[in-house]
Amino acid sequence: MAKKRILVVDDEEDILELLDFNLSREGYRVVRATSGEQALEKTRNEPPDLVLLDLMLPDMDGLEVTRILKSDPETRALPVVMLTAKGEEADIVLGLELGADDYITKPFSPRVLLARVKAVLRRNSAEKFHDSPVIRIHELVIHPGRREVRLGGKPVGLTFTEFEILHYLARRPGWVFTRNQIVDGVRGQDYAVTDRSVDVQIVGLRRKLGPAGRYIETVRGVGYRFKE
């Protein structure tokens, strides 16, 4: 089996060395980048299996790199794990809203980092939408295979995470899910994310869906459900 290729993006040489050493020891092929522009160039030339991305970079920050990767159909499905020393909720929420798959704060444990990388790669290779049927609710059409949402025949531009939450809720109309259940269902269990980030995703979804946003109903004190 071919080794998984991981692009590590950080402008601190000692962090790059630490990541390279631990990932290589686990059998991964490591490619380095020290700036956002370099990361985008290397991703386009030879797409990796995962990007481990520092948020604090000298030219463009990691959030902008994530936005570019997740808005491009060629790289939208590429897993991105954010690496940040900030640990600020606003940056984490924004990164997840843009479509990042996980985050790890500095200083980090190499064992924890490797476990999180393995979990993201495992989830990404599961191809969970492969056999999922198209969902149609009046004027709203959700096509899992194409990762496409249409409203009245017109495409709706959703982030990676927004699409996953919408699909997760719409597959079980009428069921009520807590925020933790939504996180576990979309990202896998033990995914480190705050309740606030789920609320942020729901607000974004409702705004983009316009009148169809009414299908996503808040159940006070519990969570959310997709109205039948």
pLDDT averaged over every residue in the chain: 85
How far is C-alpha 207 from the geometric centre of its chain's CA atoms?
20
34-88 pLDDT tens trace: 999 999 999 988 889 999 999 989 889 999 999 999 888 778 878 999 988 766 6
**DSSP output for 95-113:** HHHHT--EEEESS--HHHH
Task: Examine the domain organization and report whether 142 and 183 are in the same domain.
Answer: yes
Sheet holding 216-219, edge to edge: 176-178, 223-226, 216-219
* Residue 64 belongs to some domain of the structure: yes
Phi, psi of 129 (to 5 degrees): -100, 0
Residue 33 has pLDDT above 80, yes or no: yes
* Residue 130 belongs to some domain of the structure: no
Domain total for the chain?
2
Indicate the range of 23-27, 30-34, 82-86, 114-118 predicted with least confidence: 82-86
Residue tagged 């794990």 (tokens): 81
150-201 pLDDT tens trace: 999 898 988 877 888 999 999 888 999 998 888 877 765 445 455 678 888 8
Distance between CA atoms of residues 70 and 80, nearest Å:
9
Task: Examine the domain organization and report whether 90 and 157 are in the same domain.
Answer: no
Per-residue pLDDT, averaged over 112-136, amounts to 76
CB-side neighbour CA atoms (13 Å) of 118 = 10
Domain boundary residue among 107, 125, 143? 125
* C-beta of residue 69 within 8 angstroms of C-beta of residue 51: yes
The structure's pTM equals 0.63
Our CA angle for 167, 172, 178, nearest 5°, is 85
